[in-house]
Amino acid sequence: MNFDFSDDQKSLKDEARKFLTDKAGAKVTRGVLNDAAISYDQSLWKAVAEMGWLGAAIPEEHGGLGLGRLELCVLAEELGRAVAPIPFSSSVYFFAEALMLAGSDAQKAAHLPKVASGETIGCFALSEAPGAPTPASIQAKFDGATLNGVKIPVTDGDVAGWAVVVAKEGAGVSLVLVDLNQAGVTRETLKTLDPTRGHAKLAFKNAKAERLGAAGQGWELSEAVLDRAAVLLAFEQVGGSQACLEMSVDYAKNRYAFSRQIGSFQAIKHKLADMYVAIEVARSNAYYGAWALSTEAAELPFAAAASRAAASDAYYLCAKENIQTHGGMGFTWEVDCHLFYRRAKLLALQAGGPAAWKENS
Amino acid sequence: MDFNDTPEEAKFRADARAFLAANCSPKGSDKERLSRRLSTDEYVKAAKAYQKKKAEAGFAGITWAKEQGGRALPPIYAVIFNQEEGKFDAPSQPFAIGLGMCVPTVIAFSDDATKERYVAKALRGDEIWCQLFSEPGAGSDVAASKTKAVRDGDDWVINGQKVWTTGAQFSDFGIVLVRTNPDVEKHKGLTMFIVDMKAPGVDVRPIHQASGGREFNEVYFTDVRVSDKARLGEPGMGWNVALVTLMNERLAVGGSTGPDYAEIFELARNMPGPSGQGTLAQDEAFRQKLADWIVKAEGYKLSKFRTMTALSRGQTPGPESSIGKVINANHLMDICNTAIESMDHYGIINDGELAPMEAAFHQGYMWAPGLRIAGGTDEILKNIIAERVLGLPQDVRVDKGVAFKRSAERALKCPLRRAARAGRALAQAMADVG
């Protein structure tokens, strides 16, 4: 057994950390938060594309770096740590994974190089209403050539050029690939808990679309995409949780109350230790998920559910207790705690809420 | 023991209900939805008018002594009125702190002339009060306040900064805790004053909160003069005065704050369950959680009645009333988080037009972290329960017996910009003191 990343993967992580410390971080995330007109940071997106990260797991023949999913996990953790305000997860964990999983050679050749270069932003559209979707609840309809219906919310749907949409086709469900820049598509930007990422309501009216994968296989494919995305999101969640813990530790060492560092009080020590324990449990589950993802193991559905449940719980705990550790300052807009608190909820919901994943595991 | 109203209480409840029905719209009505769009000025105006009507009808100062304009009724009558008022969209919030905490402190610690000047006007809704205790370097450790007042003839001159002051932007007066003697232990060098919030040198700036709102303020004092007559209690006794106010705050802040079990139950009846089968309300795991929330909320409510019973027998509310704050903020956060997660991906939408229950759970999710901190953090309140209720030994006090100006030197190492600013101000203040 070797339950750790390789030296190469670790040095990739170090590089990614250095790069994001320089190019991303709270200041960049706040740039998006404070500007209602934008929902991602274009220069960070460009820089990440130039580093090749968007194509890290895309095969070389399709313009990617051809690295494995483990490398992508390493990058995900660092992006999560930086609360990066870019549509990375939608484009890479959902859209590209769906194409690699179900796309024809022609579809892969047409889209993957553009995802890898950053030219195309992709997204994944499943949700239509409050509550966990089921094959029976899907209302969007594909007739073999055109798509009708509404998807809400679609993470990064306001900036994406293409979408993979889960739609009803006859009695079954199919995945369909849709160009969002066409007359049959209207977008409405949504107000969400995490304004550092874009969200839209997408309405399709006789929109031209093509099937992705076999007809009637859409639900199984959608679940397989969600399993993959769940593992990658879990790494973002672990990265975000870790950042919260480090902020808290730093503050607890430097803030004084009752003429003592607040970190010298057991109430704070135990809180931070609880955060650490939750993160380590989440990290280990995520590593197991990474192994299952990178080896296409049969255990992936379980490993993905466990990764997701542990990471969602850890990030929520760490984000809220980070605010608490910072006291009143933690509840101000100018201190970064709420960026994590907001992102924690988005990442817990983006591939479906934790309750449904716990049900699956 | 009897959980039913006595005939007198039932009559009072009916009167209260009739008054409220005549003067407020019920919760959930279209009128209530409109009232949420009022500007702060409009809301404060409505609150003043409502408070005036309350006073005229005898529903203000229900427990206060008759000479203060009250009705001298036992506290259970105030509980009954609050229960009934809670069913309506009553604009009572701007007066909660003043009438709940500040004015009772004024009544307890000032002479007849001062009471005459302030109490009736507050009760009638003419003047609004705020409470100025917390500072950037004195949150949990309120007694470490650095804002100072220096005696100058018949006046005192206040300099410094307070923070997290609710309602400062529309308040007429405040009670402010200041350091008047840095050469003694921190608890012994504090004094409380009444301060005119419109006086020269008082600068109110809203705080942009993590939730996005701006309900709280920073208040800066630059050479603000107050008369010695505005002093509440003896010089150096400010901490004892503050304790009276703070105990009231913990009672007040522990009240209803957002969606509770009834709201999430309503949501769950219309939400698919996590297995995709039936509704969330039929889901076993959800039902277990719901039962926990009901037991906790009802247990808290009933505990409050016990506190009120003790009060009505003339006993002082003890530190056990701290349980409300420990329960409520986490209760709210847990309910809101569970509700949002049950909505699945859709739960990220924070828009009153689109989100279930007009995004009440989202507002609660963003508000609850502040509630865990305001009026005493979870950790401080648990310490109070452990030390003052259970009698456990106090934590080691490194500043015991140390003059404030010496112990405060440690606090200079604050990590954040604002705190650093306060630290520099303190260094200057210490240099001034010599």
Question: What radius of gyration do chain B's Cα atoms show?
Answer: 23
Mean pLDDT in residue range B335-342: 96
Is the Cα torsion angle B90, B91, B93, B96 positive or negative in sign?
negative
Residue among A250, A265, A324 whose CB faces B369 most closely: A324
Judging contacts by C-beta atoms under 8 Å, the chain A residues touching residue B331 are none
Among A352-356, B29-33, B271-275, the least confident range:
B29-33
CA atoms of A321 and A330, how far apart (whole Å): 10
Percent of chain A scoring above 70 in pLDDT: 100
Distance of CA A187 to the CA centre of its chain: 21
Task: Say yes or no for a CB contact (<8 Å) between B346 and A130.
Answer: yes
CA atoms of A350 and A228, how far apart (whole Å): 13
Q: Is the pLDDT of residue A8 over 60?
A: yes
Residue among B210, B356, B365 whose CB faces A332 most closely: B210
Angle (nearest 5°) at CA A43 between A78 and A151: 75
SS3 at position A116: helix
Mean pLDDT in residue range B103-129: 96
CA atoms of B34 and A250, how far apart (whole Å): 45
Residue of B nearest to A349 (CA): B345
Query: Is-contact A83 A26, C-beta < 8 A?
Result: yes
Of 3.30.70.260, 1.10.530.10, 2.40.110.10, 3.90.700.10, which CATH number belongs to A122-215? 2.40.110.10
Judging contacts by C-beta atoms under 8 Å, the chain B residues touching residue A225 are none
CATH topology classification for B254-389: Butyryl-CoA Dehydrogenase, subunit A; domain 3 (1.20.140)
β pairing state of A199-212 and A146-155: antiparallel
Mean pLDDT score across all residues of chain A = 96
What pLDDT score does B38 carry? 80
- Catalytic residue status for B215: no
- For residue B336, what are the contacts with CB-CB under 8 A and spacing of at least 6? B258, B259, B361, B362, B364, B365, B368
Query: Is-contact B336 B361, C-beta < 8 A?
Result: yes
Residue among B141, B341, B370 whose CB faces A257 most closely: B141
Residue of B nearest to A252 (CA): B415
Higher-pLDDT residue of B233 and B318 is B233
B120 sits in which H/E element: helix B112-123
Q: Is the pLDDT of residue A357 over 90?
A: no
Class of the B130-244 domain? Answer: mainly beta
What pLDDT score does B416 carry? 47
Mean pLDDT in residue range B115-129: 97
CB count, 10 Å around CB of A298? 9
Mean pLDDT score across all residues of chain B = 88
Judging contacts by C-beta atoms under 8 Å, the chain A residues touching residue B369 are 320, 323-324, 330-331, 338, 341
pLDDT band at B373 (very low <50, low <70, confident <90, very high): very high
Name which of B187, B344, B384 to mutate to probe chain A: the one with the most chain A Cβ atoms within 10 A of its Cβ.
B344
Task: Say yes or no for a CB contact (<8 Å) between A256 and B410.
Answer: yes
ipTM above 0.95, yes or no: yes
Mean pLDDT in residue range B300-315: 77
Mean pLDDT in residue range B41-49: 94
Q: Where are the domains of chain A?
A: 7-117, 122-215, 220-360
What superfamily in CATH does domain A220-360 come from? Answer: Butyryl-CoA Dehydrogenase, subunit A, domain 3 (1.20.140.10)
Task: Please write the tens of the pLDDT for every residue from A321-350.
Answer: 999 999 999 999 999 999 999 999 999 999
CA atoms of A29 and A51, how far apart (whole Å): 19
Residue among B276, B366, B379 whose CB faces A132 most closely: B276
Distance from CA of B338 to the nearest CA of A (A): 9
Task: Say yes or no for a CB contact (<8 Å) between A259 and B399.
Answer: yes
> What is the number of CB-based contacts under 8 A between chain A and chain B?
192
Class of the A7-117 domain? Answer: mainly alpha
Task: Say yes or no for a CB contact (<8 Å) between B350 and A332.
Answer: no
Q: A1-20 burial, b for 16+ CB within 10 Å, e for fewer?
A: eeeebeeebeebbeebbebb
Terminus-to-terminus CA distance in chain B, angstroms? Answer: 61
Among A131-145, A227-241, B126-140, B413-427, the least confident range:
B413-427
Q: Is the pLDDT of residue B427 over 60?
A: no
Query: Is-contact A29 A84, C-beta < 8 A?
Result: yes
Q: Where are the domains of chain B?
A: 7-91, 130-244, 254-389
- For residue A315, what are the contacts with CB-CB under 8 A and spacing of at least 6? A237, A238, A240, A241, A244, A282, A340, A344, A347, A348
Task: Say yes or no for a CB contact (<8 Å) between B209 and A333.
Answer: yes
Task: Say yes or no for a CB contact (<8 Å) between B210 and A330.
Answer: yes
Angle between the B261-269 and B360-371 helix axes, to the nearest 10 degrees?
150
Task: Say yes or no for a CB contact (<8 Å) between B345 and A153.
Answer: yes
Mean pLDDT in residue range A289-296: 96
Distance from CA of B213 to the nearest CA of A (A): 9
Judging contacts by C-beta atoms under 8 Å, the chain B residues touching residue A338 are 210-211, 369
Task: Kindly name the residue from B85, B135, B185, B249 that is annotated as catalytic.
Answer: B249
Task: Please write the tens of the pLDDT for every residue from B410-424.
Answer: 555 444 445 445 444
Distance from CA of A356 to the nearest CA of B (A): 5
What pLDDT score does A320 carry? 98
What pLDDT score does B250 carry? 52
Name which of A225, A256, A260 to mutate to probe chain B: the one with the most chain B Cβ atoms within 10 A of its Cβ.
A256
Task: Please write the tens of the pLDDT for every residue from B91-114.
Answer: 998 999 999 999 999 999 999 999
Mean pLDDT in residue range B143-162: 97
Task: Say yes or no for a CB contact (<8 Å) between B348 and A258.
Answer: no
Mean pLDDT in residue range B152-176: 97
Percent of chain B scoring above 70 in pLDDT: 88
Question: What residue ranges in chain A does DSSP mark as E strands?
Answer: 122-125, 141-142, 146-155, 162-169, 172-179, 185-189, 199-212, 256-257, 260-261
Encoded tokens for B92:
């009572």
CA atoms of B96 and A259, how far apart (whole Å): 33
Task: Say yes or no for a CB contact (<8 Å) between A332 and B208.
Answer: yes
Mean pLDDT in residue range B162-168: 95
Task: Please write the tens of the pLDDT for every residue from B135-148.
Answer: 999 999 999 999 99
What pLDDT score does B226 carry? 98
Task: Say yes or no for a CB contact (<8 Å) between B346 and A126.
Answer: no
Judging contacts by C-beta atoms under 8 Å, the chain B residues touching residue A257 are 139-141, 144
Count of residues making up chain A: 361
Residue among B209, B273, B348 whose CB faces A199 most closely: B348
- For residue B387, what are the contacts with CB-CB under 8 A and spacing of at least 6? B393, B394, B395
pTM of the model: 0.93
What pLDDT score does B274 carry? 84
Task: Say yes or no for a CB contact (<8 Å) between B140 and A257.
Answer: yes
Distance of CA A6 to the CA centre of its chain: 24
Task: Please write the tens of the pLDDT for every residue from A140-164.
Answer: 999 999 999 999 999 999 999 999 9
Mean pLDDT in residue range B363-391: 92
Task: Please write the tens of the pLDDT for every residue from B227-263.
Answer: 999 999 999 999 999 988 876 655 554 455 789 999 9
CATH architecture assigned to B7-91: Orthogonal Bundle (1.10)
CA atoms of B104 and B96, how far apart (whole Å): 12
Among A253-262, B24-33, B147-156, the least confident range:
B24-33
